[in-house]
Structures are given as structure tokens and as C-alpha cells.
Amino acid sequence: MYQLIRNILFWFTPEIAHELMMDMLSASQRLGLLTRLCKPVSFAPIDVMGLTFDNPVGLAAGLDKNGECIEAFGTLGFGWIEVGTVTPRPQLGNPKPRLFRIVEREAIINRMGFNNKGVDHLVENLKKTRYQGVVGVNIGKNRVTPVEEAESDYLTCLRKVYDYADYVAVNLSSPNTPELRQLQFGDTLKSLLGALKEEQDKLAKEYDKYIPLAIKLAPDMTDDEIRDIAAQLVAYEIDGVISTNTTLERDAVQGCENANEDGGLSGAPLTDLSTQKIRILAEALNRKLPIIGVGGIMDAQSAVDKIKAGASLVQIYSGFIYRGPDLIREVSEAVVACR
Ligand SMILES: Cc1cc2nc3c(=O)[nH]c(=O)nc-3n(C[C@H](O)[C@H](O)[C@H](O)COP(=O)(O)O)c2cc1C
């Protein structure tokens, strides 16, 4: 069934196909069709970061940036949903075209640049949703905010979403916002982590609930850089880490159409790179904080490899585009079986 839908969607440009998919999902959810069409994914609860996830497979950030289809993605079988990246003010993102398929490699290149309707719009959608599972909110900075002032954008988003998110993912790793990845290193990282923890502490008292913070990292760093970051995440008592975002590497797609487009590469060519980074991270963290593994999960085995490398949960984006909702059940069953 998904093969047919995919053939139709792939006939359109990737961004139009994305919009069509979101419209179709939202309409089928409203009409009650999704529940009838989808084979259920077994309830397989797992506790991570003090939260109970319905199953170990989440929707990765970027697909539902504005939180418009949360219930529909839940009905498709995801064990939890991460919405965003959202920024304090709405922004259009980069000029189109900015999303490219490399079908023969089951890959995507994107340079969307945090196109989103702003944090206030997202919060309204979070207030309305009837989804009962875990919803993470992924936050970022506006493009016009200088990187030296990024802290204030993250804090604004954290305050605004705190009462409506089950966890907050801090995106320091999109390659499509100039200089964003610098926030992953050195004193800049320390200062940002310190400010986020201080704000989390204040908000926990104000709302009388503790919302975990997870940091999302890039795959494009050396093992030593990963070890340094891991040490800081532990020192600042961050609650979790999401590894990885898209890569700037192009080796695995050399010679393919679109391979030279600027942006982050995801899907099958990212599988091994992101698993390697998870392994290094897991060794460095020594179980002091959990890892959410993401990057090129295209089948059950690639998810199991991430769990074996040290991830506690996994997320999917490109695999969902290429393989459809059946992948959620396949991956969930395999991860549950290997735990
Ligand atoms: C079109 C597109 C948009 C994305 N937007 C975001 C985003 O806004 N925030 C974010 O943290 N990650 C974003 N990502 C990265 C994914 O969440 C994920 O980390 C990455 O694609 C690797 O997983 P995958 O190989 O399963 O796609 C985006 C990915 C794609 C393909």
C-alpha cells in the first residue's frame, strides 16, 4: 500500500510531496481512516529520562516542525513524537529548492533552514493535541540572531514550551543555520548548557515538574570532540543526548544526481557514520545519560546496531519517507527483541 502512495508522492518535488503527505495524514486522521488502515504497533513501554515511551521508535525532528500532525503520527505507530525545530519567531527558511531526494541511495539532502511558524504557533498546537504519548519539542535559534546571542533564543523557546513538552531537545547541530554547530564546542557549549540548566531549575520550581533536556549532536566531529562534549553533558547534568543530525559528508553519494547540493545528508548513507558516533558517545558517557539513536535507520538491523552501540531509543525520518509506516513496527519489534 505504501509503495503505491510513495510512487505517487515521488512524482512531485520533495517539498510538495511533504506538504501533500502532511495534508493526507491530517485528513485521514480526522476522518478516522488512519486507525483502519494502519496495522497497530504493539505497546512496548520503555522508561528513559524519567519518561515512559509507548515503544522505542520515535519520529525524528523536522518532519512535523509545527506540531500539526502529532495525533496522526501517533496513530501510525510511533512510540513518541519530536516536533520542531521551532524558533522564537516564525521564519521562512532558505530559498527553494532546498530539499532533494537521492532515490538510488535512499537518501535525502536538505537545507530547509528551520522554516517554521514560530514557537507561539507550536504551543497552540500542543495545547490542542489529544495525543497521550510523549511529545518532545526540538528548539533552535532564528537565523537573524547572531550566534553570540543564541542563548537568549534557546531560553525563550525553553520557557514557552516548558509547560507543554515532555522533554526539550536542544538542536545544536543543524548544518543549515550558519555557525549553529559552533555551539557544540568549548566555552560556548559550557555557557549554553549552564544557562539552560539554570533556567530548567527555575522552571521546574515554577511549574512543579521536571522536564528533561536532551542535546542533539552532529555526526561530523572527531572522536575527541565527542568525548569532550560527553564530559560537558555529564558535568552539566543534561538528561539525554540525541545522536545524530544530518551529515556534511558526501562520499557515499558521489556521482549521484543532487549529491553536490548544499545541506545535510540523511538516510542510508548516514547509517554507519551515526552508529559509529553513538558507539564513541556511549563509551564516553559510560551510561551516565541515555542516548537516542538516529541516522539512517532504514530497516530493523540498522536500528538494532544503534541499540547495540549504546542507544536506548531510536528515531526515524528518512526511513519513514522511503519505507513508510511498516518500518515503525518492524523496527519496534526488533528493538524490543534485542533488549
Ligand atoms: C527534510 C529534513 C528536515 C530536518 N529538519 C530537522 C530539524 O528541524 N531539526 C532537527 O533537529 N533535525 C532535523 N532533521 C534531521 C533529522 O531529525 C535526523 O536527525 C536526520 O535526518 C537523520 O535521520 P534519518 O537518516 O532517519 O533521516 C531533518 C531531516 C530532514 C531530512
CATH number of the domain where residue 169 is located: 3.20.20.70
Establish if 7 belongs to a structural domain. no
Confidence of residue 286 (pLDDT cuts 50, 70, 90): very high
Say how many domains are in the chain.
1
* pLDDT(157) > 90: yes
Give the containing element (helix H, strand E) for 142: none
25 assigned to some structural domain: no
Q: Is residue 135 part of a domain?
A: yes
For residue 104, the model assigns a pLDDT of: 96
Cβ contact 219:248 at 8 Å: no
Query: Which residue, among 133, 77, 110, 112, has the nearest Cα to 331 in the 3D structure?
Result: 77
How does the average pLDDT of the chain come out, rounded? 96
Quote the pTM value.
Answer: 0.98
Of 26, 152, 173, 174, catalytic? 174
Residue 176 C-alpha from the chain's centroid: 15
Residue 28's Cα: distance from chain center in Å? 24
Cα(206) to ligand 1 centroid in Å equals 32
> Would the pLDDT of 185 be above 90?
no
Question: Which uninterrupted H or E stretch holds 208?
Answer: none
Looking at ligand 1, which residue's alpha carbon is closest to its atom 5?
Answer: 62
Pocket perturbation via mutation, ligand 1, pick of 246, 273, 306 by most ligand atoms within 8 A of CB: 246
pLDDT digits (tens, 9 = 90+) for 131-144: 999 999 999 999 99
Give the model's pLDDT for residue 1. 79
Decide if 298 contacts 264 (C-beta within 8 A).
Answer: no
Distance CA 192, CA 195 (A): 5
Domain residues for 263?
38-338
Identify whether 19 is part of a domain. Answer: no
Point out the ligand 1 atom lying closest to the alpha carbon of residue 315: 26
* Beta strands 57-59; 313-316: pairing state: parallel
Identify whether 165 is part of a domain.
yes
CB 71 within 8 A of CB 131: yes
Percentage of the chain beyond pLDDT 70 is: 100
Residue matched to cell numbers 512496548: 44
Residue at 227 is within a domain: yes
Q: Per-residue confidence at 130, pLDDT binned at 50, 70, 90?
A: very high
Q: What percent of the chain has pLDDT over 90?
A: 91
pLDDT band at 339 (very low <50, low <70, confident <90, very high): confident
pLDDT at 20 over 90: yes
Classify each residue of 207-238 as buried b or exposed e, where b means 16 or more C-beta atoms within 10 Å of its C-beta.
Answer: eeeebbbbbbbbbbbeeebbebbbebbeebeb
Active site residue 332: no
pLDDT value at 57 more than 90: yes
Q: Domain for residue 33, yes or no?
A: no
Please say if the pLDDT value at position 311 is more than 90.
yes
Q: Is 275 in the pocket of ligand 1 (CB under 6 A)?
A: no
Cβ contact 240:58 at 8 Å: no
Mutate to test the pocket of ligand 1, among 122, 242, 245 (most ligand atoms within 8 A of CB): 245
Take atom 3 of ligand 1 and give the residue whose Cα is closest: 62
**Residue 70 near residue 34 (C-beta atoms within 8 A):** no
